[in-house]
Amino acid sequence: MNNKRPENMERITTQALANAFIDEQVKELRAQIGNKKVLLALSGGVDSSVVAALLIKAVGKQLVSVHVNHGLLRKGEPEQVVEVFRNQLNANLVYVDAVDRFLTKLEGVAEPEKKRKIIGAEFIRVFEEEARKLEGIEFLAQGTIYPDILESGPVKAHHNVGGLPDDLQFELVEPLRFLFKDEVRVVGKALGLPDGMVYRQPFPGPGLGVRCLGAITRDRLEAVRESDAILREEFAKNGLEGQVWQYFTAVPDFKSVGVNNDVRTYAFPVIIRAVNTVDAMTATVAPIPFELLQHITDRITKEVANVNRVLFDLTPKPTGTIEWE
Ligand code: XMP
């Protein structure tokens, strides 16, 4: 496959340019795919969502999207994938609830790279099982974008469902492979995807798994998910959504002493991280108004179970990485 962006390709900055790109891709995809079936791992991230929407426009139900809920997604994400793709776009969507399976595999595993490997390998296994259940698939669609090809993008390669066994190899369909992230968003918008999907901040492939530090437990995973939801809600309400490059919470695997209603507590802290960056290689800490941090702390300590303390990470990259694991 040709891997160089054509030199005369105009940067897609407007809805009109996006519509022209979509029309051309729809034609090309129909020519490539014919009446065959295409498989896609749909995470709900920007790239796979835009690929799905594009393929639905081109070949409708010939696209089979598989959404694997590994239990490490943010609050509301699996529901949004089902709502947008199955209910609104009438897609052929296979929803796989693999939560228990992933959490069982991850039980007692504290080492970050081991956790990543288990999540990646288990994902391939689940996807492979689903692929084997389907008949007549000839193509595999992927949300590869140009920075993935240039290998200089901020997001580490997570699009590739590479690793499938030899007897399960498909012809690749990668309609976004010459697009930069901002162009993917313009195309997604033109395809009618909701803003929350098109403009969302980067989210690592292993999801909340690398933000529930050390060996994942269900109570701390819930604390990460609920505190992250509060942080995102408050950032959106206070005009910081789209202004701060990446923001999230992490929950370490130690407790500290606190007090609540005159009763001594022993519970987990929540760490807030909010950074700005251009390429994720270096990052600065986003200046968040102190009153807002106080308000978020108040909400998290009141609303999130098993939490009695909130910390704000003041470390730029270097010396800290953006994620904690
Ligand atoms: P770090 O923590 O290395 O993160 O400063 C830089 C950017 O990469 C994201 N990140 C990941 N993305 N799989 C991914 O798809 C991963 O394992 C992973 N680890 C970090 C991180 O969220 C940040 O945007």
pLDDT recorded at residue 3: 83
Concatenate the DSSP letters of all residues of 139-184 into one string. Answer: EEE----HHHHHT--SS-S-S--TT--GGG--EEE-TTTT--HHHH
- Is the beta carbon of 220 within 6 A of some atom in ligand 1? no
pLDDT recorded at residue 153: 47
Exposure string of 115-128, with b = 16+ CB inside 10 Å and e = fewer, is bbebbeebbbbbbe
Q: Whose C-alpha lies nearest to ligand 1, atom 22?
A: 204
Residues in the chain: 325
- Is the beta carbon of 204 within 6 A of some atom in ligand 1? yes
Mean pLDDT for 58-66 is 98
Percentage of the chain lying above the pLDDT 70 cut: 97
Which is nearest to 66 in space by CA: 30, 51, 146? Answer: 51
- Is the beta carbon of 207 within 6 A of some atom in ligand 1? no
Q: How confident is the model at residue 155 (pLDDT cuts 50, 70, 90)?
A: very low
- Is the beta carbon of 323 within 6 A of some atom in ligand 1? yes
- Is the beta carbon of 181 within 6 A of some atom in ligand 1? no
Instruction: Name the one residue in this structure whose structure tokens are 């070949």.
Output: 59
pLDDT recorded at residue 6: 94
- Is the beta carbon of 43 within 6 A of some atom in ligand 1? no
Mean pLDDT for 38-57 is 98
- Is the beta carbon of 143 within 6 A of some atom in ligand 1? no
pLDDT recorded at residue 162: 72
Contact (CB, 8 A) for 210 and 325: yes
- Residue 167 has phi, psi (to 5 degrees) of -80, 5
> Left (φ > 0), alpha (ψ -120 to 50) or beta: where does 218 sit?
alpha
Q: Whose C-alpha lies nearest to ligand 1, atom 19?
A: 204
Structural domains in the chain plus CATH codes = 15-198 (3.40.50.620), 211-312 (3.30.300.10)
Terminus-to-terminus CA distance in the chain, angstroms? 35
Distance 302 CA to ligand 1 centre (A): 30
Distance 155 CA to ligand 1 centre (A): 6
pLDDT of 157 > 70? The answer is no
319 cis-preceded (ω within 30 degrees of 0): yes
- Is the beta carbon of 317 within 6 A of some atom in ligand 1? yes
Q: How many CB atoms lie within 10 A of CB 250?
A: 24
What would the pLDDT profile of 71-80 be if each residue is shown by its tens digit?
Answer: 999 999 999 9
Which of the 8 DSSP states describes residue 251? B
- Closest atom, ligand 1, to C-alpha of 203: 22
